[in-house]
Chain A
Amino acid sequence: MHDHRHDHHHHDHDHQDVPPDISLRVKALESLLVEKGMVDAAELDEIVDSFENRIGPRNGAQVVARAWTDSAFRQRLLADSTAAIGELGYLGGQGEHMKVVANTPAVHNLVVCTLCSCYPWPTLGLPPTWYKSSAYRARAVIEPRDVLREFGLQLEDNVEVRVWDSTAEVRYLVLPERPGGTEDMTEEELAALVTRDAMIGVARVAAPQGSDS
């Protein structure tokens, strides 16, 4: 087999980063045990998924809350995301090359990647199962408004949707809009409002419960 499908991939950079040795050892264990029928891949996924919110830090929420409360940081974040996130000490793993895209009343951003290896888990934790699904990967690009509607996010017609396809070099993070009714909240309280889904772009950050402004 020599067909490596280089037709639109020109550089070695387009190829996957090889994960760390320890990660490959786990993949080797898992794939051999699954192949021999000793464990069921779906059952393993089920266990891992049950810890979805327990894997990796939710540092992205801290980044968002800082951007909401510190306009100078927000400017640095949008100009050079990698450096600004680095200021907070949240780089490493596969999160090195970050690009933060800001939602506005006129623009809604959505992040997709054909592979979970391009998910910025040092800032967002473990990718949810749906993010890795072929349905999401294909449809987010073709019919993002329909996808968002299925997530319960109905966008007005005049809101532009921008879909960002992560590459081997750039991982995207959505800076959601700060909800109303949060003017008196501290950075820490704000961070608690920010969900993973909002940072992928399939949700907005909801106003805190009890707030009616």
Chain B
Amino acid sequence: MATSTGSGGERLGDLPPWPSDEEGPVFDAPWQAQAFALAVKLSELGHFSWTTWTATLAEEIARADARGDPDDGSAYYHHWVAALEGLVADRDLIDLVALSERKDAWAEAYRRTPHGQPVELPEKS
């Protein structure tokens, strides 16, 4: 077990090797930080343990390695998102069909929204 570097429930040191420098995690884009926050929060709230999370992420990365994906760190947060989708489905928090439909709804919302207005999903009918 690696040493703990995070505060509270976040034991960042338990994670597979990831993009960071001496001051902590670095993110190349906002979505990476959002995905990071989701996993931390869901774990803090007890939807899954951090140990479960790191194991799930490690499995996802191992699968990617087995597929021959580049192991240069660029795909780390892609694996993170895939692991998160798998885990929320596995825990019956959200099913994968709903996720896919919601993704399409967001894409449509972006296409539909004029510049200068917040992108929002339509009200459910």
Contact = CB atoms under 8 A, between A and B. Distances in A.
Interface string B21-54: 0011111111111111110111001010000000
Interface string A1-27: 100111001000011111111111111
Contact of A33 (B93, B100, B110): B93
Nearest to B27: A55
Contact of A44 (B29, B34, B105): B34
Nearest to B32: A55
A20 B32 CA distance: 12
A168 B41 contact: no
B interface SS class: helix
A48 B85 contact: no
Interface residues of A, number: 49
Given A16-B113, A121-B29, A168-B115, A32 B99 contact: yes
Contacts of B1: none
Contact of B27 (A21, A33, A36, A56): A56
Contacts of A47: 33, 36-37, 40-41
Given A30-B38, A38-B42, A15 B94 contact: no
B35 A26 contact: yes
B68 interface: no
B119 interface: yes
Contact of A22 (B78, B118, B121): B78
Nearest to A55: B27
B37 A9 contact: no
Contacts of B40: 47
Contacts of B45: 38-39
A51 to B, nearest CB: 5
Interface of B: 23-38, 40-42, 45, 47, 77-78, 81, 84-85, 88, 93-94, 98-100, 102-103, 105-107, 110-119, 121-122
Interface of A: 1, 4-6, 9, 14-33, 36, 38-40, 43-45, 47-48, 51, 54-57, 93, 114-118, 121, 126, 167-168
